Structures are given as C-alpha cells and as structure tokens.
Structure 1
C-alpha cells in the first residue's frame, strides 16, 4: 500500500501529548487503558443495544439503537472526506500499540483505516450518552461522561488517534444523540417510518464516495434495524422481559444468529471478490449486513413468545 495515500495534518502539541501518554502508560497500565477500547467497538455496543431492545425496554432500544448505528455510519462518512492518516504513519516517535486490524501490516492504510474522527470516541458517546439522555439517571450520566473519556484516552495512548480525532469523535457522537432525540420527539410514531427512510437515504450518500468496508457494513446494519422496527410493528409485537436470565438467553442466541448469518452469506463469494474495492463487493457487504440484522433483530423475536411459554412451563 502506498504510504502517500491519505492526508497528513496535525498540531505539534498533539504529537507531544501522545508521546507523553505513551511514556506514562506502560506494562500493566497500558493493558488496562488499552482494554477500554473495547467499550467503543461496534460489536460490543450492538450487544448492548440488543440487551436493551430485546430485553429491557423496546422504546429505549429504538432510540439507543438508532443513535449507535447512525453514529457508526456518520464516522466513515466523515473519514472518507478527510482521509487523515494514522498518527504513527508520519510520526515515528509514536508507536502503534493496538492496530485496528491485527493481522494486517500496520502501514496498510486500507486495512488500518483513516484517523479522523475517532470511531471509538463517536460510538462511546452515541451509546452511553443516549442511554443517559433517555433514562435521565445519575449513574448513567456518570457512565456517559467517564466511559467516553477512558475510550478516547485509550485510543490516543495506543497511538492510533490524534487528540483532535478524539475530540471531534466525541462531538459527532453528541450531535447524533441530540439530533435523534429531537427528531423522534418531533415526529409522531405513525410517521417514524418516514423519518427512518429520510435518515437512511441521507446516510446512503456515502455510496457515491466511501471506499471503506466499515461504511457499508454500518449502513447495512442501520437499514436492517429500521426494517426490523417496521416489521415488529406490523407482524411481531414482541414483549420485553424483565427476567435477567431470559434477556441473556435472548441476547446470546440473537448474537449467535447474527454472526452465523454474516458468515453464511459470505459463502457464495470468493475472498478475493469480497476484499476487492469494487462497488459490487461493497453492495454485497451492505446486503449481507442488512439481511443479517433484519433476520436477527426483526424476525428472530417471533420465537420470544415460545421462549416465554417454555420458561413458564419450567417454572
């Protein structure tokens, strides 16, 4: 991969600050701070969304899920505009301690992705702030403040994001949270489908210029989630469960179904085609994630009533 690809721009203080962080955190402390990156990763947050939507509160799950997935789409939309290179690409004094793609060359920009803004920072704010805003709970508010700070700190410490990546990631996450809240409060529930359609069509503008896999998988998830919401209103009408064991079973089974579907839908295609930077490959990726999300989030809850009946009989 040509290292000339992408744009280089940063402030000197950013490099100095990242060097300071890497000099402070080492050994066990580095492992601890690096661990917080997991709390901003898409799959972890999708599981959180599933826990809320399938188990705790469907309406809250709709708001949190829309915020998370819209944040996941917004990030690559911006990254593919700014195409900022990772800090360690242009600053040898900064070490890459946690590459985005562990099995690829750390200087492969196609595999490691662009830097601005930080996706983990966007995701952590859109997820935890949307929960706090919906519930207006002091504990959740504390989590909404502390968790993004730790996630952002971890991304700078491991050398994959500049401070301005993190700051703008936090800002874009907040924009998503308040925008989704504003729109959902203004649009009556019977018109929610129209709001979701407009959001999706605007998000789909990335088809004209995005060249990274994360955009197409995120857009597929967003589309699948919106379709699932309408399918539930028309057909499923599943009920939430306040029983922790039932919720855990729902989430584990749903996550397993989703992961299995994404693998199965890859089988008709060669690995060379799927990894190729072509519109056809991107469309296949988009459809894989849309179908997998729709089946796992929309169709799968059809069996919840049978699950609940089984639990009652066992009791």
Structure 2
C-alpha cells in the first residue's frame, strides 16, 4: 500500500492521462494488432507461435486469478483508483502486465534486436507502474504478471515447436479440453473469455493449416486491405454477437471463440476468395524481411 501511495503522491491530471494511456498497451487491442500483422502479413508460423503464447497466457492468468482470489486495492482508504472499468476480476496476477510481458518477451526472443529489447523492457516496466499508479493492482500483482508472462512464452514456445516439428496436435487438443474443464471450476467472466479465444484460435489453426493454407506473401496494398477488412470483422463480431448472444459467461465464450476463429481461419479464407492472398505453395517457408 505504501508503494501505491508513494506513486500516487505525484498524482496530477497530466500524469493521470499519461498513465491511463500507457496502461492501454497491456489491453487486448495492441497485442491483437501486432498478432494479426504478423499472422496475416509477415510470418504465419511466428504468428501462430505468438498467438499460442498470448491465448495460453490469458487462460493461465484467468485460472490463477480464480484460484488465488486476491482482492484489488480499489476502494481502500487512501488509494485513488482510475480506469476501474478495465480492472475486471481478481487482482493477482495483473493481466495487463502479463499481456505486455508475453507480447514483448516473444518479440524479443524471435527477432533479437537491441532496440526491441530496450523498448520491450521499458514498456513492461511502465505498464506495471501504471497499474499501481492507477490504484488497480498491488506490487505483487505486477511482479506476478511479469513472471507468469515470461513463463507463458517459454512454455508456449516449447510446446509449439514440439507440435509443429512432429506435425501432431495432441498437446493442443489436451490443452483445449483442459481449458473447457476449467469452466466447471472457474466462473469469472475473464476466464470464459480467455477460454473462448483459446478454443477459437486452435479450431481456426486446425482448419487453416489443413484446408485453407493461405500465404502471407502479398503486395503492400493487399496487406493493408487485409488488415482493414480483418479488423472490421473483429469489431463486427464483438459488437453484433454481444447483442445477439445471451449475456453472461456462455455468451462471452462463444463471442470470443468466434473472434479467435475469425483471425486464424475465417478471415484468411475470405482473403483468398477476394484475391487478397494466394494459396501457400508446397514447402513454402515464411522468412522475416
């Protein structure tokens, strides 16, 4: 509590806006943008690897939160809390901090660029500080988010490489079943959303890698068109399915499953039909430019 109070001793309207902006880097929008750029336009194999790490991480985070059931500092005397609408579920570990840690840990491991390492460390630290400054997380929460974020990437990369090398899906299917079983025990909306996108991602992965097999190679114009069309699809699914499906956990799991499936299979299929992408040739290897 003293650490939060110390950070908030510098509080003013300008810093409030700055840290509110910084904390948004740990929300779902930026990881999704970077993921679909990688998956649709840059390097499909790495896109799958990053997507697995991110989706595995959110399920992992949701399960831990429901097990630990740690209360947030929101409402504690002497602590001012901002952006509380984005502070859903329990407190430990910090989902925002874990998201940004997974994203940049994965990017740093994959691309090994000094500027990316510096940017990643700075953003991870700033997002962690922002969660405490905004009064929505304790210090242990953000430390836990960093630790579990790194663990998620290491485990995710290891599992993905094994499954991809052996061309099998046994572990993926086991994890899908395990996440579904978790819905019996974990009842928080965050866990259901995480499970939905996890299931949608892997169902899409099976469909795309077996039948669609689109190539990321395209002109700049086509890549921009893919991104715009794909993002419109994500927004439409979020908005309209929320109105059509019943409110609650089961509606959330279906909505987020649809988003995961759209990103990995439905959108690539549409790209092929609209001539924005071509079929992947045999033994095609996506190489980073």
Alignment of 1:114-263 (within 5 A): 114-241=90-217, 243-263=219-239
The separation in 1 between residues aligned to 2:277 and 2:178, in whole angstroms, is: 42
Structure 2 residue corresponding to 1:88, chosen from 74, 78, 99: 74
Q: Which residue of 1 aligns with 2:247?
A: 274
The separation in 2 between residues aligned to 1:247 and 1:192, in whole angstroms, is: 30
Please, what is the CA RMSD of the aligned residues? 2.1
Runs of 4+ in 1 over 4 A off after TM superposition: 242-245
Q: Does 1:298 align with 2:271?
A: no
Shift of 1:33: 2.1
CA contact (8 A) 1:97 1:159 kept: yes
Q: Which residue of 2 aligns with 1:49?
A: 35
Shift of 1:75: 1.1
Residue 243 to residue 94, structure 1, CA distance change in 2 (3 Å): farther
SS of the aligned residue for 2:167 comes to helix
Shift of 1:153: 0.7
Shift of 1:291: 2.6
Shift of 1:192: 4.1
The separation in 1 between residues aligned to 2:89 and 2:57, in whole angstroms, is: 17
Q: Which residue of 1 aligns with 2:282?
A: none
The separation in 2 between residues aligned to 1:291 and 1:309, in whole angstroms, is: 22
Instruction: Count how many residue pairs are aligned between Structure 1 and Structure 2.
Output: 277
Q: Which residue of 2 aligns with 1:289?
A: 256
The separation in 1 between residues aligned to 2:120 and 2:211, in whole angstroms, is: 35
Shift of 1:243: 4.5
TM-score, normalised relative to structure 2:
0.88
Shift of 1:142: 1.9
TM-score, normalised relative to structure 1:
0.81
The separation in 1 between residues aligned to 2:116 and 2:172, in whole angstroms, is: 26
Q: Deviations over 1:216-247 (max 9, x none)?
A: 11111111111111111121111114644433
Query: Unaligned regions of 5+ residues in structure 1, if any?
Result: 1-14, 102-110, 276-281, 311-315
Shift of 1:190: 4.7
The separation in 2 between residues aligned to 1:37 and 1:244, in whole angstroms, is: 31
